[in-house]
Amino acid sequence: LRSPVFWVFGLSTACYGLASSGFGLFGEATLRELGFGPKDYYALLVSSSLVALFAQLGAGWLALHFPIGRLTGAAMLLYAIALGLLSVLQTKVMLWICAVLLGAAGGVIVVVFFAVWSRAFGQAQLGRIQGAAQLLTVLASAMGPLLFASCAKHLGSYRPALWLLIPVIFLL
């Protein structure tokens, strides 16, 4: 817990969980604000999930050949761009681009979460380290829907939650 490496990777995956759980629960309503219907939301979910599966396969290979910090940085940058695009969607083409970016970033982040800890800290305390990281991710994922709901209640829109998360994810 005293290592900055733990916090960079832990907070990155936690913020991904926060954003994805919030949008996962309120995504249809968020897209409705932008003029899209339920079918568009389901298309986004299905296509981003398929892209995430393929991204996980690619990320597994990339994690063996590239520094995991750079891989994480690239995924977080893609995720910040995807959330930015999500907040201003206007066309179905933009929706499809967003789905690809969300899926690619999410697939990489999931692989990194499981790959980084033994590389960064070794095997000796791996269970304790992964437990602490998982705790961060679970707590953040639980807060995502609360953040989105709070923005909708107090600000009249779900999009301020995205606007808040974009710079945080970009910085991580």
Which phi-psi region, left, alpha or beta, contains residue 89 (left: φ > 0; alpha: ψ -120 to 50)?
A: beta
pLDDT along the chain (172 residues), means of 10: 90 96 95 95 95 95 92 96 94 96 96 90 89 95 97 96 96 92
Q: How far apart are CA 106 and CA 82, in angstroms?
A: 10
The pLDDT value recorded for residue 123 is 87
Q: How far apart are CA 169 and CA 77, in angstroms?
A: 7
The pLDDT value recorded for residue 120 is 87
For 4, half-sphere exposure in the C-beta direction (CA atoms, 13 angstrom radius) is: 2
The pLDDT value recorded for residue 93 is 96
44, burial (CB in 10 Å: exposed 0-12, middle 13-18, buried 19+): buried
136 token code pair: 């961060």
Q: How far apart are CA 32 and CA 149, in angstroms?
A: 15
Tell me the longest C-alpha to C-alpha distance in the chain: 52
Q: How far apart are CA 93 and CA 153, in angstroms?
A: 30
Closest CA to 120 of 11, 12, 7, 14: 7
Please indicate, yes or no, whether the overall pTM of this predicted structure exceeds 0.75.
Answer: yes
